[in-house]
Amino acid sequence: MQSALAYKEEYVSEIIDGREVLMSPRPAANHNKSIKNLTIIFGNYLKGKRCQLFIDGMEVHIDEKNTFVPDLFIVCDKSKIKNNGIFGAPDLVVEVLSPSSVNRDRGIKKDTYEKAGVKEDWIVDPVSKSIEVFHLLEGRFVMDHTYIIFPEWEWEQMTETERAAARLSVKVSLYDDLTVDLREVFDDV
């Protein structure tokens, strides 16, 4: 029988603006399910293509002061991929919000991704079942849209025009033929 003292929880950290920041050691179930669903969607699409998908745990060395561990990201420039991490900006980054990360993900990390030249940044909120999508245009992130699955009660109160205007899928800017259905992202969440 293993003693309680023998168990040591391993913390993952990021370097943000030169300071070490501890990340939550255990994501909530819906956080994990959202990442799993996105991994399947992007993984299936990227089979046989030049861009590669990476998931939680892989370090992204943006610069000397910033090393992040995004929940999911895509890298198309293979020269950035090393055994000990990614060196340079990914093409697409997905951060799934948790209570402890929301301010960093929407603040300094988003700003750092923008400065580094990340082409597309997604902020996924499993609680509201929404995805905020930002595209890099002329060196600045511009919000494409906040995509959301409306609660059933709200959907029922919407007019036909409002329902028709609701966007339930995200067109990925990196590809001409990839659209992500929100219902798949938040399946079982």
- List, in sequence order, every beta strand (DSSP E) within 79-118: 81-82, 85-87, 92-96
Lookup: tokens for 58: 């892989």
Single pTM value for the model: 0.87
Distances (CA, A) of 58 to 20, 52, 115, 125, 165: 16, 13, 20, 21, 37
Q: How confident is the model at residue 99 (pLDDT cuts 50, 70, 90)?
A: confident
Q: How far apart are CA 122 and CA 95, in angstroms?
A: 6
Task: Provide mean pLDDT across the span 140-153.
Answer: 94
What pLDDT does residue 26 have?
66
Task: Provide mean pLDDT across the span 22-28.
Answer: 70
What pLDDT does residue 1 have?
34
Q: How far apart are CA 119 and CA 114, in angstroms?
A: 8
The vertex-131 CA angle with 167 and 40, nearest 5°, equals: 95
Task: Provide mean pLDDT across the span 124-135.
Answer: 96
List the domains of the chain with CATH numbers.
31-185 (3.90.1570.10)
1: which DSSP letter?
-
Residue with tokens 């079982």: 188
What pLDDT does residue 16 have?
80
Average pLDDT, the chain: 90
Other Cβ atoms closer than 10 A to 45: 18
> Is residue 99 packed enough to be buried (19+ CB in 10 Å), middle (13-18) or exposed (0-12)?
exposed
Task: Provide mean pLDDT across the span 116-124.
Answer: 98
Does position 113 have pLDDT exceeding 60, yes or no?
yes
Nearest to 106 by CA among 137, 146, 53, 76: 146
Q: How confident is the model at residue 126 (pLDDT cuts 50, 70, 90)?
A: very high
